Structure 1
Amino acid sequence: MTARKRIVVIGGGVAGLSTAALLAHDGHDVEVIEKNDDLGGRAGLWSKDGFRFDTGPSWWLMPEVFDHYFEMLGTSTKEQLDLVRLDPGYRVFFGENGSDEPPLDIFGDYERNREVFENIEPGAGAALDSYLQTARQAYDLAVERFLYTSFDSTRAFLSLPVLKNAPTLAKLLTRSLQSFMLVEVQRPTPAAGARLSGGVPRFVAGADPVDVSPDELDGPRRRRPIPPGGLHDPRRRTRARRARTRRRDPHRYGRDFRADAQTAGSSTPPSRQVVGVRVQTADGGTRDLPADIVVGAADLHHLETKLLADDLQTFPERYWKRATSGPGAVLAYLGVSGELPELAHHSLYFTEDWKTNFDAIFESPTRVPDPASLYVCKPSATDDSVAPDGHENVFVLVPVPPDPPDPGLGHGGMNGAGDPDIEKVADRAIAMIGQWSGVPDLADRIVVRRTVGPADFVDNVNSWCGGALGPAHTLRQSAFLRSTNRSRKVEGLYYAGSSTRPGIGLPMCLISAELIRKRLNGDRSVGPTPTH
């Protein structure tokens, strides 16, 4: 444990709040500043006419990461969250132009799912066993050696299990999840491989092979749990409150939360040691917040290129010109009259040639796929408090290319008032869901509609290229090659969140918070911090 320090965290999203909680729990004086009125970042909340929408993540992946995080705060997931197990875990729709092929349900029992795959094509069950064995081995190694380290030394690589499994790890680190699964599973059993690949929401979770537990890939061994009411259910602590879970009084740990405070820059003397943060307040003034440590938990491109002088930037604009953004997204929050039994809590829609569909998002020139593979969440299937009686709450995510500033797809809006390209994507998605799911009057039953486009991600969270997740997990942007979480130019300046190590997604944000804690404590170990 280091001496008590004054720490300012820039950004009140999941990574910022998680970092603040850990550091405050260690006894530091921590202040979180956030430019928006509400905390949560991408994990926001929007309410309209009795509907309550989570605006961001809806999958509960890598539950052991959450368990470990809460243990570090002296509590538990069970104490903090009311989780509901889903069965089916998710439903997958296949085909194009209204395929007659029935949807595939992934259940809460592995043997049941193995039988489903085997019935689709003989040999698929064995292929699934083989894949999950390899994936489990790689996943366990990742958790033990690669996710909980900042790669300040070669220690992560110097172990017999890592050296023994180097070929497998190299293969996983240099290929996307979808391509790995396509080759490893589809080669012996094409139909089963396509379905297994389709059952993995890579574009929802934004995951790499070594970052996703096999229990989450097959969905089956544990039914996929989520907090009832979404991740902002008032019946339990919200993400914003998660940073205060150790005690009822947040100030007991010396914490302070400031919303509606736009960061104007960091303060550094000629010695290049951070001394504080200057914020623009809501009334147009400025205020200097002294700090021994500053943790930037906002978008890394914004932090580096907008808040630091050129000579203080570890990742200047020339770095970002070579970098690759993760996918953008068009989101639609829909309040629908009547019930939709055709949809599960989680539903995935995959076009016939889903690989070409995804490639369109990243290959040059990029384009918005039409038809597009997409994801639908219906939280009202599990919790009736997110929609008025007799209505359904529906969240739609359509992956689109990362959005350049000019031209771009633009902003969303209320009731079709967003930019035309955004509304066209949403209209096509709604029509596709209705057709494939057997709900031809879906569009006519929508009573609340709001769309969100890449430009909204820029406005709301300063997202680089309007990305929905963060920098992509390419070979040059994964593991030890991903952006470091410490400035090389300014002493005392650190980074957390999806832009930096270990990567994108809620579990990775929690781990990134722990990596900051380990740095400040001089802990260079490669695994999770012991809690007992």
Structure 2
Amino acid sequence: MKKRIAIIGSGFSALASASYLAKEGHQVTIYEKNDTVGGRARQYKKDGFTFDIGPTWYWMPDVFERFFNDFDKKPSDYYTLEKLSPAYKVVFSETESILIEDTLTKIYAAFEAEEKGSSKQLEKFITKAKSNYDIAIKDLVYRPGVSPLELITPETIKKIGAFFSTISKDVRKQFNNEKLIQILEFPVLFLGAKPSNTPAFYSFMNYADFGLGTWHPKGGMYQVVLGMKTLAESLGVNINTNANVEEILVQNNSATGLVVNGDTITADIVLSGADYHHTETLLPLKLRQYSETYWSKKTFAPSALLFYIGFDTPIINVEHHTLFFDVDFEEHSKAIYDDPQWPENPLFYASFPSKTDSSVAPKGKEAGIFLIPLAPGIEDTEAIRETYFKKIMTRFENLTNQTVQKNVIFKETYCLNNFIEDYNSYKGNAYGLANTLFQTAFLRPKLKSKTVKNLYFTGQLSVPGPGVPPSLISGKLVAGLIQKHNKN
């Protein structure tokens, strides 16, 4: 039986679920509070510069291919991909940096040059990581987190130890060089937790990094959003922007529609791709599954302070993606996870998409995005933002041997208050709920409400977790659950 389905939000998971549900013949309508689609993956344009406001890394191309293949399409029908070479650069000091190239052979050589014998260790490590990737991405993450039995397969039983060791322990058993350890621990940051709290099984992120490479969609990550929007609309999905959802209507403990900009919208099924915590505040208190205490005890992935900068000259000694690991990673991570506060000396990341893509900056100029990972829930003021801009730009100039602050045409900032205002983000988090051992699969907030019939959730606070590829998968999983329950 075909249903009227109202979807809150238009991020990756919402757009994905909308397409799957429309393909099954349902009448699907999206309600997005902002003026453009994409959720956290929006775009900012100014003076001929184009910036991705949200995600800037395109990893796991196979997940995107699998998504579009489900509709007899492929990514190239909507956007053009380029594999980055090098994938990224890691800067440790004014004189020390390591390039992560675009093939395993080159990466093995880079490790060997840094620490004799490490290439053989890396080869073994990546072989195991690939095995984990095959199990996780081809099977486990496409399960809806309904039951712990989903995790029990002949393959996972063989890997049981990898769920109870950690990435940090595994890496440090095999490598001694601190720089190489930091590079191997870096991909875990996409999962939103410290390497010391992340199961070793998640080394599959290292295979995603080294084995599958880093890609760039021409025009930026927003081209992926536009491709998904085009696909959804071609399947009959209606998309409404500037449509703020103020209430989820419930009758006899069953979702019956939404209040949008003061108007009542009726629906047979409500699906939220918005912030999970916020979505539950749209319900009467007695119908919320998770209390404020529940959320306050969860480990959230970081928030971020971001700067979008137009430079009047090309920036030298950097790559498209450049990581600055010149300070103590452990100290910074304590300020995120253990004792939430502004870090004294933060690690930071910079992206210069105009190094690869001439369409995102005027000729002879450079588009730069700088990001500092932060604890959610800390104070956010313009004065603090400016202090940290000066901190990282001074370091950036020293580390890359150039002066750039005089070349800033403009800069825009984005931080916790913006995440709350634009996305109703819990404590201003940027990446959702971290993937720790006790926040994995069936231990994450459920895709289907336990208290309200015909109410579902999708996205980075639910199954399978944070990141763009998991969001695509989350959309598929919740659409499958809706179809299953609709048939019964």
TM-score, length of structure 2 as denominator length? 0.93
Once the two structures are superposed, the pairs formed by residues 369-518 of structure 1 within 5 Å of their partners are 369-404=343-378, 408-410=379-381, 419-439=382-402, 441-518=403-480
On the 8 A contact 1:470/1:499 being kept in 2, the answer is yes
2:241 counterpart residue number: 259
- Mark the CA change 1:349 to 1:521 in structure 2 (over 3 Å): closer, same or farther: same
- Give 1:64's aligned residue: 62
Q: Is contact 2:145–2:464 with CA below 8 Å preserved after alignment?
A: no
The answer for the alignment partner of 2:299 in structure 1 is 324
The one of 218, 225, 229 equivalent to 2:215 is: 225
Residues 154-303 of structure 1 aligned to structure 2 (within 5 Å): 154-171=148-165, 175=166, 180=167, 182-191=168-177, 194-195=180-181, 197=183, 200-203=186-189, 206=192, 210=202, 212-218=204-210, 221-233=211-223, 238-245=224-231, 250=233, 253-269=235-251, 271-280=252-261, 286-303=262-279
What SS does the aligned partner of 2:398 have? helix
Structure 1 position 70, deviation (Å): 0.5
CA–CA separation in structure 1 for the residues paired with 2:409 and 2:305 = 19
Instruction: Indicate conservation of the 8 Å contact 2:60/2:212, yes or no.
Output: no
Unpaired stretches in structure 2, ≥5 consecutive residues: none
- Contact 1:124 1:192 (C-alpha < 8 Å) held by counterparts: no
User: Equivalences for 1:37-116 in 2 at 5 Å?
Assistant: 37-95=35-93, 99-101=94-96, 103-116=97-110
Alpha-carbon distance in structure 1 between the residues aligned to 2:135 and 2:294: 30
Contact 2:3-2:27 at 8 Å conserved across structures: yes
What's the counterpart of residue 309 of structure 1? 284
Is residue 190–residue 467 contact of structure 2 (8 Å, CA) maintained in 1?
A: no
Deviation at residue 481 of structure 1 after TM alignment: 0.8
Alignment partners' CA distance in 2, 1:195 and 1:164: 26
- Is the deviation greater in 441-450 or in 137-146? 137-146
Most deviating of 112-121 and 200-209: 200-209
Task: Please name the residue that 1:348 is paired with.
Answer: 323
Aligned residues: 480
In the alignment, the residues of structure 2 paired with residue 66 and residue 487 of structure 1 have an alpha-carbon distance, to the nearest angstrom, of 27
Deviation at residue 430 of structure 1 after TM alignment: 1.6
Q: Give 1:361's match in structure 2, choosing from 315, 323, 336.
A: 336
Counterpart-to-counterpart distance in 1, 2:364 and 2:78:
30
2:188·2:202 contact (CA, 8 Å) conserved in 1? no
Indicate conservation of the 8 Å contact 2:325/2:347, yes or no: yes
Q: Of Structure 1 and Structure 2, which has the larger fraction of its residues in helix?
A: 2
Structure 1 residue 475, shift from structure 2 partner: 2.7
Distance 1:298 1:505, change over 3 A: same
Distance (Å, rounded) in 1 between the aligned partners of 2:479 and 2:395: 46
- Asked whether the 8 Å contact 1:486–1:495 carries over to 2, the reply is yes
SS at match of 1:314: coil
**Secondary structure of 2:484 counterpart:** coil
Give the Cα–Cα distance (whole angstroms) in 1 for the partners of residues 258 and 203 of structure 2. Answer: 33
Q: Which digits, 9 at most, give the CA deviation of each residue in 1:279-318, with x for residues without a partner?
A: 11xxxxx21111111101000110012x000111011222
Structure 2: distance between partners of 1:259 and 1:94: 44
| Contact kept? 1:403, 1:455, Cα under 8 Å | no
Q: Tell me which of 117, 120, 123 is aligned to 2:117.
A: 123
Shift of 1:199: 7.3
Q: Which amino acid in the other structure matches residue 384 of structure 1?
A: S
CA 1:213–1:100 in structure 2 vs 1: closer, same or farther (change >3 Å)?
Answer: closer
Preserved contact between residue 331 and residue 453 of structure 1 (Cα < 8 Å): yes
Q: Which amino acid aligns with 1:78?
A: S
SS of match in other structure, 1:245 = helix
Are the structure 2 counterparts of residues 164 and 188 from structure 1 closer, same or farther at C-alpha, using a change threshold of 3 Å?
closer
Partners of 1:50 and 1:195 in 2: CA distance: 39
Deviates more, 1:389-398 or 1:70-79: 70-79
Deviates more, 1:183-192 or 1:492-501: 183-192
Q: 1:263 to 1:211 in 2, by over 3 A?
A: farther
The structure-2 alpha-carbon separation of the partners of 1:267 and 1:37, relative to structure 1 and needing over 3 Å to count, comes to same
Moved more, 134-143 or 75-84: 134-143
* Amino acid aligned to 1:346: H
- Which stretch of the first structure deviates more once superposed, 201-210 or 116-125? 201-210
3-state SS of 2:314 partner: coil
Letter paired with 2:230: R
Cα deviations by residue, 1:396-441 (Å, 9 ceiling, x for unpaired):
110111124xxx123xxxxxxxx101111122112211111111x1
Q: CA deviation at 1:328?
A: 1.3
Could you tell me how far 1:242 is from its partner in structure 2?
Answer: 0.9
Q: CA deviation at 1:154?
A: 4.8
Q: Report the 3-state secondary structure (helix = DSSP H, G, I; strand = E; otherwise coil) of the residue aligned with 1:23.
A: helix
Q: CA deviation at 1:155?
A: 4.3
For residues 444-470 of structure 1, what are the alpha-carbon distances to aligned partners after superposition, in whole Å with 9 as ceiling and x for unaligned? 111111111111100010110111111
> Unmatched 5+ residue regions in structure 1?
281-285, 411-418, 524-532
SS at structure 2 position matched to 1:421: helix
C-alpha contact 1:139 1:214 (8 A) present in aligned 2: no
